Amino acid sequence: MSKLPKNFEKALLGAAGVCAIGFIALGFMKSNAVGTDFNYEVARDGKKDPTIPEAPAAKTAGASLMNNLTVKQAVDTTRGVNLFTGVNLFATKNDPTHPIEPRRGAMVHPPIDNDWWERTGADMTHADSPARDDDNDGFSNLEEFEAHTNPMDQKDVPPVIKKLAYIKDESVKWYVTFGLASDGQWAPKLLGQSAAGAKFDNRVSAAEMIKPGDLFFKDKTFKERFRFLEIVAKKVTSERTKSEETVNVGIYEDLKANKKGTKYESQERLPENEIDSHAYFDRTAVLDLQAVGEKGKEFKVEEGTAFALPSTATEKKYFLKKVTPEGVEVEYTDEKGKQSWSIPKGGPAKRTDAAGTPTE
């Protein structure tokens, strides 16, 4: 009687099934191998040479990717264009389906040529692009175009004098009345009014009359501002009677730094109602540089003094030559020589010639 296990036949049958499944799986994987994907067969020319012809080229191409590559900008006519991108095209609001190539079309914003917009990077796509300030420096794109400055660089701006505004005049009005005179000595009196309208005065007393060469006044307002020169007889015409008469006139000079050497006259018996027409002024202009981040920062400059533009500049190269209620005159020197500008109250600055006539 056989001593084999009762289930031996069943175990043998199971093992055979597992082997069959394994052979089927192996055949399936072989049929889907990488070599099948590429479907490349060694040429059968009778030689035992498995070399792939494309291999050297593939190796060279792969090695080139490890090199430092330089990509040069392409050129379209006279302008450079970025590789792998198209040339910028635009469309008008009247015909949005029609593309416009600015380089080859008419000027979009005369007198600014289209090339300027593309070359500088300023935005030309708005109806008011020339009036816009792309770099927010206080100058419009048109002003930057005319000045040959960069509209995308806040540090590259047209002459800032063009943005200097005259806000108002703050002047002190004064007149030295004749007072008393005896043997060439003098006791003048000061009448004045501040920019705010407050009245003030000063005087030389009869007991302390000054002689030629002396400074006055002794203290208080306008202390030692003037030097007495002389008293002379002079023919004058009366504003009231229109007749000519001879009167004594006191002559004195200013010692204030910005008016040093200026000579004034004080007329004897001048009618009180004519004092205003003979008065002198210490004029101060209130200015505002409406550019380079300083708009709204009003500052005061006295007539005959130097000042800086902008306020952060270390050199006071600008000179306030003249101040009137209607406008101011400013001078400075640059690489082109002496420049003169007239700035009317509430109006734009204009370059002027030697006679003060606007030239632009």
Q: Identify the residue whose tokens are 């015409």.
A: 237
Burial of 35-71, coded b for 16+ CB within 10 Å and e otherwise, reads: eeeeeeeeeeeeeeeeeeeeeeeeeeeeeeeeeeeee
DSSP E strands, 70-163: 74-76, 79-81, 90-92, 95-100
Burial (CB < 10 A; 0-12, 13-18, 19+), residue 23, is exposed
From first to last of the 360 residues of the chain, give the pLDDT tens digit. 445 455 545 554 555 555 555 555 555 555 555 445 555 555 555 566 667 777 788 788 777 777 776 766 666 666 666 655 566 667 777 777 777 777 777 788 999 999 899 899 999 989 899 999 999 999 999 999 999 999 999 999 999 999 999 999 999 999 999 999 999 999 999 999 999 999 999 999 999 999 999 999 999 999 999 999 999 999 988 777 788 889 999 999 999 999 999 999 999 999 998 999 999 999 999 999 999 999 999 999 999 999 999 998 999 999 999 999 999 999 999 988 999 999 999 999 999 877 677 776
Please report the DSSP string for 2-20 in residue order.
--S-TTHHHHHHHHHHHHH
Which of 338, 336, 335 is CA-nearest to residue 319? 338
| Cβ contact 52:38 at 8 Å | no
359 φ/ψ angles, rounded to the nearest 5 degrees: -110, 0
Element (H, E) at 34: helix 34-38
Q: Which two tokens stand for residue 45?
A: 């020319």
CA-to-CA distance for 53 and 31, rounded, in angstroms?
Answer: 25
Per-domain boundaries in the chain: 101-158, 161-168+283-352, 177-278
| Cβ contact 194:172 at 8 Å | yes
245 φ/ψ angles, rounded to the nearest 5 degrees: -145, 160
Contacts of 141 by beta carbon, 8 Å cutoff, 6+ apart = 112, 122, 129, 130, 131, 132, 133, 134, 151
